[in-house]
């Protein structure tokens, strides 16, 4: 599975994307964010306020409670603003 990071997440993690093999216990987007934080100190620091992180599964914006299912790409990004 590919995880893509945008905006300040990309800057704080110093990477735009990564390929991961998720363990079976990672079922939802919220589980994924916690798993990323648990395995990587930079991710833990960057995601200290997980409620500020938005997610999209294969281009569809979803809540943290959404099951990951068979998604191929998960995008994580901060709140968006319009103009």
State the pLDDT at residue 82: 60
Query: Across residues 36-58, what is the average pLDDT?
Result: 96
CB atoms inside a 10 Å sphere around CB 39: 11
Containing structural domain, residue 9: 2-77
Indicate whether 82 belongs to any domain: no
What are phi and psi for residue 75, nearest 5 degrees?
-105, 135
- Please state whether the predicted TM-score (pTM) of the whole model is above 0.75: yes
Q: Please, which pLDDT band fits residue 79 given cuts at 50, 70 and 90?
A: confident
What's the CATH code of the domain at 25? 3.10.20.30
């Amino acid at each position: 599975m590919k995880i893509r990071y945008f905006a300040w997440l990309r800057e704080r993690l110093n990477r735009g994307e990564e390929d991961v093999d998720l363990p079976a216990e990672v079922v939802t987007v919220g589980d994924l964010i916690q798993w990323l934080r648990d395995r990587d100190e930079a991710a833990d620091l960057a995601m200290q306020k997980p409620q500020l992180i938005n997610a999209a599964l294969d281009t569809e914006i979803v809540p943290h409670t959404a099951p990951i299912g068979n998604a191929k790409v998960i995008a994580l990004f901060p709140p968006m603003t319009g103009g």
